[in-house]
Homo-oligomer: A and B are copies of this chain.
């Protein structure tokens, strides 16, 4: 058992800042969406993904893959969103195993109503505070981390 490669002081400081800012940012985004739209952050991105798909429709498994949600997570989420009338689930004509999740007009309207407020929150919390240079740096850093986590 080799001695562990501990973090340097610089790395520790960066890591704690990262974890804390993430924690608070996630909480802020979740709270804003919950308060103004009655949905968790995860549901917002399901609405976004469906709204960007042809016919506002995606196979459950493709939707899960594109958002990197587990199938179980997506099933539970879509079940709840279906109860609210935001999404419909239809059998896939070409594959009996698959289900097609489709955004309803009601779901589209919910997204359209909540998007401006949510984007405003993201702006005020993040992008209004960063220089264009920092935005580019952030993306590069996240991309490097993603490359290691997301083989796709």
Q: Is A53 engaged at the interface, CB distance under 8 Å to the other chain?
A: no
Task: Report yes or no: B14 in contact with A142, Cβ–Cβ below 8 A.
Answer: yes
Q: In the complex, how many residues of chain A place their beta carbon closer than 8 angstroms to a beta carbon of chain B?
A: 52
Closest to A134 in B: B141
The prevalent SS among residues of A at the interface is helix
Query: Contact: A148 with B125, CB < 8 Å?
Result: yes
Q: Which of B11, B25, B127, B134 contacts A135 (CB 8 A)?
A: B11
Known: A5-B119, A22-B22, A68-B23. Is A10-B145 also a contact (CB below 8 A)?
no
Chain A to chain B: the 5 pairs with minimum beta-carbon distance, closest first: A4-B116, A14-B139, A17-B142, A21-B142, A24-B149
A-B contact pairs, 8 of them (CB 8 A): A4-B119, A6-B119, A7-B122, A7-B123, A10-B139, A17-B138, A22-B26, A126-B145
